[in-house]
A = this chain, B = another copy of it.
Amino acid sequence: MFEPTIKDIAKICGVGVSTVSRAINNHPDINSETKEKIMNAIREYGYVPNDSARNLKRADAKAVAVLIKGIANPFFTNMITVIEQECKKRHYAMELSHIEADEDEVDVAQKVVKEKRLRGIIFLGGLFSHSEEKLKKLSVPFVFSTVGSIPENISKKQYSSISVDDRRESAKMVDYLIGLGHKQIAILVAEASEESVGKLRLEGYCDALKAHGIEVNTNLICQTEEALSHFSMENGYLSTKKLLERGETFTALYAVSDALAIGARRALYEAGLRVPEDVSLAGYDGLDMAEYSVPSLTTIRQPVEKMAKDTTKLLFDIISNKTKHQHVIYEAELLVRESTAKIPE
């Protein structure tokens, strides 16, 4: 199998390599006839420029990276799809990279940036707890999207972020449940370690309870220590089962993700508990599955599409120096559906 290079094409057309290069890259200084001839040869011989050589030569590889922590979370699938479209629009390639639970995201980011010479990074999910010093090693702009929280001591001029206020939104949900008359509200929270969204949502839960003078009952805080994927249905199912086996009484169960809630719903069902008659159930994220489940799930919807679009736009604006780093917080929406109800008197 013959793989032609730019030289071969040049030779075939009887022109210099720079002319071929100009033809490929739509440079202005080129005779349209020669360009035509070259493009024909390229098609005929199936020439495709070697990306490595291009990126080596170019200071900037037209590419950005998306680093995801927790790929199993279906919440991200939507975001990625949108981000990819947005990148394509701008003729940029998008490198997708998963970060394992035990990997350090900044290390990975640094490696990816140098390896691929890309122009920017989007961090998706996970949490963030790195020193400013380490952050400075990143030579390209980056934006955190839907990342739990970023320590206060890092200069906000160093990075951008797009997120919802997980703590406040979470409180919103618990507030709503309390308004329904619930006092014994259990919470299902996976991965409550460090500054994760899980922790934030748990804090919001406590906030709301306290605001209403309800004491936080630690027995109702159901944390999963398992090595299970943090936002899986399986995890929600098993954790809820354990909670029930412990014999705790509660009238509402709030899971910090829809997937967990779906799993929980199954566990409740198997225990003979009806939703919402016996137990009100609430989720968080606003995934499709929350909408189509039976009963449909009361949840907090994050404006996924808008966040994804704005994340991409922001990154590109920063790359092209159109704007400075920014910190945007979106409002999420409480979607009241069938899975929650007033507590019977």
Contact = CB atoms under 8 A, between A and B. Distances in A.
Interface string A258-295: 00001101100100000000000000000011011110
B233 A266 contact: no
B81 A77 contact: no
Interface string A61-88: 1000000000110100100110010000
A115 B95 CA distance: 14
Number of copies of chain A assembled together: 2
A52 B56 contact: yes
A296 B266 contact: yes
B81 A71 contact: yes
Interface in A217-241: 232-234, 236-237
A292 B237 contact: yes
A117 interface: yes
Classify chain A's interface size.
35 or more
Nearest to A264: B292
A96 interface: yes
A1 B137 CA distance: 8
A114 interface: yes
A53 interface: yes
A55 interface: yes
Contact of A262 (B49, B51, B236, B293): B293
Interface string A82-124: 0010000000000010100000000000110011110000000
A329 interface: no
B294 A1 contact: no
A40 interface: no
A48 interface: yes
Given A3-B139, A233-B292, A266-B294, 20 more contacts: A1-B137, A46-B110, A48-B110, A48-B114, A50-B115, A51-B116, A52-B52, A52-B53, A53-B56, A71-B81, A84-B98, A233-B289, A233-B291, A234-B288, A262-B292, A262-B293, A266-B292, A266-B296, A293-B294, A294-B294
